Amino acid sequence: MADLILFFGSNADTMIATKALKDAGIAAKMIPKPATVNTPSNLCLSIDGGVESQAKTALSGAGVPLGGVVK
């Protein structure tokens, strides 16, 4: 399955999300924000598309607001 890009409202949220996903057993790679993503943060996370639902659940449980997903 293709990778997804998760973006957040701040770099701090991106870093908190990285830990929340790691704690949930989901591999996430921090990447620079693509030019097509409109967010104040300059960092995003790349995850496997097959774990999108689990990632959203983990982020919600950790109280990390997801800015959006780019497929």
pTM of the model: 0.92
Task: Count Cα atoms within 13 angstroms, Cβ side, for 17.
Answer: 31
Q: Which domains does the chain have, with CATH numbers?
A: 3-70 (3.30.70.260)
Tell me the pLDDT band of 1, cut-offs 50, 70 and 90: low
> Which segments of the chain does DSSP mark as H helices, in order?
11-23, 52-61
Cα–Cα distance measured from residue 49 to residue 38, given in angstroms and rounded to the nearest whole number: 20
- C-alpha 36: how far from chain center: 16
Determine the pLDDT at residue 71.
Answer: 87
**What pLDDT digit, counting tens, does each position of 35-52 carry?**
988 899 999 999 999 999
